[in-house]
Chain A
C-alpha cells in the first residue's frame, strides 16, 4: 500500500526529508511506519491522519496521508 508521510518542524532536518511517499506492506502500524523512516516509535510525537491523532499501534491504510510532528506546546 502507498502512504504519504509529512514531517513537521525540526523533524524535517533531523530525519532528512519533508514529505515522502512510501510503499508499505498491508497491516503496517504507525510504529512500523516510524521505524521505516528512522524514528524511534517510543519518542514523544504527534501522529495524525487527516487532521486527527492516531496512536502508534493503529494500522495505517492505503492512501493515508500521515502527519508526524514533534510534541510542542504552542507559540
Chain B
C-alpha cells in the first residue's frame, strides 16, 4: 500500500503493553489520514459520555500520506482526542519531527490508551516501545523538559510533551513539540496530562513507502525551491503571521479589551514591523519553506516565539501594547503548555467580569504583573480562581453568572481566535460552525468577505465559501496532513497537493475526489458532537451575545454603530446547513450520512440521539 505504512501503533499505559495493528487500503481511501483517521478511530472506540480526562479517553497522534515527505511544508502532525474543553471531538496540528519519525518507525497513527501509574515518557523506536519514568521532569515546564529530552536522545528524534498546564489538566492545555510549536487547542495537552504522559519520543529508521520515490524527490525538491522563492519575493516570512495585525486593526477586526474594541491607536507597537525589528531568532517546522516562527526577547530577557494569534489575544485583548510584556505572557503560555489564544481569552474575560462587577478580584486590563500571576494560578490550578479559570471561559461564566456569558468570548467551549467579528458576519459564521469550537483553522473568510462581497451581507455566497474553505483547510490539509500556509499566504496552488498525493500513493485522484472525504470527516465530527450532546440545537453554532448587542457596537471608526444581526445570522446559518445537508439543529440528516457512506455510524448514533 504505497503512501501509507498500513500500520497503527496502539499503546496501553495502564498495562504498559502495545500492539501493532494493520489497516486496509479501503480504510485509507475512505479516511486518508490525520484528522480522518483520528475522528474515525475515536468515534468507533470511545463510548459516549466518557470523561475526556479519564483513562477511557484516547489520544491519537496521526499523520497523513504526504506528511514528512520532502515537499513544501509537510512537517505537520495531528493530535486528537475527545476534547475536555468542548466535550466533542477535538484536535489540532503542530509542526514536529514526530511527523517523519513516526512514519519511518512504521506507523500512520499512534493510539494511546489508559493511564500510567506514574509520570511516563513513551519512547518509540521502530518496533521497540518503552515506558520510561518521567518523574524527574514532572512539574517542569516544556522548555526544561525539552532540554532534558535533548540531553538523552539528541535532536534528531520527534518529541511531543506537556508542561504544568497539561499535567494539571487545564482544559486548554496544548501539546508542545521540540521545535517550539504547539497544537491541540481543545485541551489535547490536558488529555496527555490525565494519562500521566509527560512526553512522547519517536525515532524511526525505515523508508516511507512511496509509489514513485524518485519522481517525488525531484518534484519535492523543485517545489521546495519554488515556494521558498515565492516567499522571498513576497517577503511574507519577514513578518510571518504577525503581518496581519495592522490589517485587522485597520479594518476593525482586532480583539481589544476582551473583544469590546476592534481597533486601537497603539496597536502598531505590537505589529509585525515591531516584531521583525525585535527578532533574535527564526524558527520553522520540518520541510518548511517560509519559516514563520519569530523569536523575540521578553521583559525578562527570555526568548519567546510569537505569532499573530498569540499577540492579538495576549496584547490588545488585554490592553497590553508593550511587545516585551506580550512576549512574556506568550513565553509563560509556551512553558506552561497552555494555548495562548484561550489563555488570552480567559484572562480578558476575567478582567472584564471584574470590571463589570460580575465577580470580585484585583486583575485589571493592562496589568502585566497581574496577568502573569493569574496565568500561573491557572497553570497550577491554584486557589479557587485558578482552578475555575483552568476550566475555560464557558465554565467561568457559568460560575460568575450575572449575564457574563454574553461576553464570554467562546463557542462550544473553545475561546475565539484573534478576529473580532462584531461586523464580519461570514467570519463569525466560520467560527460558529467550526466543529471543534471557535478555531480559525477550519475556515478563514475575512479577506474574501471584505474584498469580494459586501462586508455586512449575510448571503448564501458566504455560507458556500465557508464550506469550500472547510473542504480545503479542514478536510484536505488536515487529512493528507500538511501546512496550509503556502496556499494561504503565498497563493501556492491547491492543485499541487493531489499531485503530491498521487506521486506518493500511485493513485490518480483529482482535487474534487477529496471533497466527499472532507465532507465525510466533517459529518462524523458533527455526529460525534451529537452523540455527546443529544439535546444540541443550532444555538451551539451561534457566537456570544456581545456580537449581536447594539450597545456593544463601536462608537467610532470603520464600523461605528454596526453590529451583527441575529436574525440574518440565523438565515446565513440555515444556508450553511442546507449546503451541508444538515437538519435545522445543525446535524447531518440520515440521508446525508448515508450518502457519505456513514450509514453504520448513523445507526450507532441513533442509540443515543435522534437523526432526521
Contact = CB atoms under 8 A, between A and B. Distances in A.
Interface of A: 6, 8-14, 18, 44, 46, 48, 50-53, 65, 67, 69-75
13 contacts: A9-B235, A10-B239, A12-B238, A14-B235, A46-B450, A48-B450, A53-B451, A71-B447, A73-B444, A73-B487, A73-B488, A75-B307, A75-B309
Q: Of residues A13, A46, A71, A74, which shows the largest number of chain B Cβ atoms within 10 Å of its Cβ? A: A74
A75 B440 contact: yes
B247 interface: yes
A46 B234 contact: no
A11 to B, nearest CB: 8
B447 A14 contact: no
B400 to A, nearest CB: 30
B251 interface: yes
Main secondary structure on B side of the interface with A:
helix
Interface string B430-455: 00000000001100111110111001
A33 to B, nearest CB: 16
A25 to B, nearest CB: 25
Contact of B450 (A8, A53, A75): A53
Q: Of residues B247, B491, B559, which shows the largest number of chain A Cβ atoms within 10 Å of its Cβ? A: B247
A28 B489 CA distance: 30
B450 to A, nearest CB: 5
B487 A14 contact: no
A9 B452 CA distance: 20
B558 A50 contact: yes
Contacts of B239: 9-10, 12-13
Given A10-B235, A72-B488, 12 more contacts: A8-B243, A8-B244, A14-B235, A44-B491, A48-B250, A51-B558, A53-B452, A73-B469, A73-B489, A74-B444, A75-B307, A75-B440
A73 B447 contact: yes
B589 to A, nearest CB: 30
A8 B444 contact: no
B234 A70 contact: yes
Interface of B: 233-236, 238-239, 241, 243-244, 246-247, 250-252, 272-273, 307-309, 417, 440-441, 444-448, 450-452, 455, 469, 487-489, 491, 557-559
Contacts of A44: 491
B450 A52 contact: yes
A54 B54 CA distance: 53
A71 to B, nearest CB: 6
Contacts of A53: 450-452, 455
A52 B558 contact: yes
A70 B234 CA distance: 9
Nearest to A67: B250
Q: Of residues B244, B444, B469, which shows the largest number of chain A Cβ atoms within 10 Å of its Cβ? A: B244
Contacts of B446: 74
B308 to A, nearest CB: 6
Contacts of B272: 9, 12
Contacts of A65: 250
A69 to B, nearest CB: 5
Contact of A71 (B307, B455, B491): B491
Nearest to A6: B250
Nearest to A14: B235
A13 B558 contact: no
Nearest to B448: A73
Contacts of B559: 51
A44 to B, nearest CB: 8
B440 A14 contact: no
A41 to B, nearest CB: 15
Contacts of B273: 12, 18
Contacts of A11: 235
Q: Of residues A8, A11, A65, which shows the largest number of chain B Cβ atoms within 10 Å of its Cβ? A: A8
A9 B237 CA distance: 9
Q: Of residues B235, B469, B557, which shows the largest number of chain A Cβ atoms within 10 Å of its Cβ? A: B235
A8 to B, nearest CB: 5
Nearest to B309: A75
A46 B241 CA distance: 17
Contacts of A73: 444, 447-448, 469, 487-489
A9 B488 contact: no
A14 B235 CA distance: 7
A61 to B, nearest CB: 15
Contact of B447 (A46, A50, A52): A46
Given A10-B235, A72-B447, A51 B491 contact: no
Nearest to A9: B243
A51 B251 contact: yes
Contacts of B243: 8-10
Nearest to A48: B251
Nearest to B430: A74
Given A48-B251, A51-B251, A74-B440, A6 B451 contact: no
B451 A46 contact: yes
B241 A13 contact: no
B227 to A, nearest CB: 14
B308 A75 contact: yes
B251 A72 contact: no
A32 B239 CA distance: 27
Contacts of B247: 8-9, 46, 67, 69
